Each structure stands twice: as C-alpha cells, then as structure tokens.
Amino acid sequence: MSLDKRVGEQVGSKQADDAIGIEEGAKRMSGAGADDEKERTESEGEVVGSQAPRPRPYEALFKVDEKGRTLLFDAAERGRLDVVEKLIFRLAGTGLSPMRLALITWKDHAGLTAAEVAEQNGHREIVRLLHSEQGRMEYFG
C-alpha cells in the first residue's frame, strides 16, 4: 500500500493533505471558506455556532498503526526523503516542548525510532536528517 494511500485512509483527506504538505486541498474540495474559519477560535479549536471542531493539522502526524508507528516511520522505511522533510518541518522545532523533536524521537512498540528504521533499510540521508534535526533541537531547544 502506498504511503499516500495509507495517509489518506488513516487520517482523512484534510489531515492527509496537511501531513504530506498539499496545501488547501480539502478546503477546496469541501467548499469551506473564510467564513468557516471566523467561526472557530484559534486557541482550542472550539466551535462557535453549530460547526463540528476540526482536528489540528499536526494530530495526523502522531496517529499510530498497530505497531505503534507514525507516518514518519512509513516514510523513513520506504526511503521517502521528500515526505520525511514535509512531515517533520510541518511541526515547531523550538519552545518548551518542541513537537518536531517529539515526532523524531517517537518509539514504536519494538523501541525503535524512525531513524533506526531508516537505518535498517539503508536510507542514510534520512538517518542523517533525523539525527541532525534531533541534535539541533536538543542543543538549542
């Protein structure tokens, strides 16, 4: 099963578009516009009026499969450097609890990180990227 298809099945079209970096795809498909955005509060994703709350875009990146693996693991395992970059750079890398660092250091049920999975599959550029981002955030974080 392709990574893009798994993303779509796992998290739905809007979150999948956000997860792989395709801007505004679901908004155009659903016809949602600026008026819809005004009815939501930014801080909590709460709803004003009768609309259902929309999940935050980053939530899709932390959904796990039966092995405890996120989308980052799939991209790293398949050698998809372009997708790995899009996934990690969608998240904040600074602050008290950087979400990018949380995603990069996430361990599956076997205790492996996405970098370790990439290394097992011979994807050295992905390993370098994930380790350098992790080190940078731990040093400057």
Determine the pLDDT at residue 129. 97
Determine the pLDDT at residue 120. 98
Determine the pLDDT at residue 110. 97
Give dist(CA 27, CA 105) in Å, integer: 31
Give dist(CA 48, CA 84) in Å, integer: 35
Determine the pLDDT at residue 81. 97
Residue ranges of domains in the chain: 3-140
62 token code pair: 């932390």
One-letter identity of residue 77: E
CATH number at 3-140: 1.25.40.20
Q: What is the pLDDT along the chain (141 residues), one digit of tens a residue?
A: 556 555 545 444 444 444 444 333 333 333 344 444 433 334 444 445 556 666 566 788 899 999 999 999 999 999 999 999 999 998 877 766 689 999 999 999 999 999 999 999 999 999 999 999 999 888 875
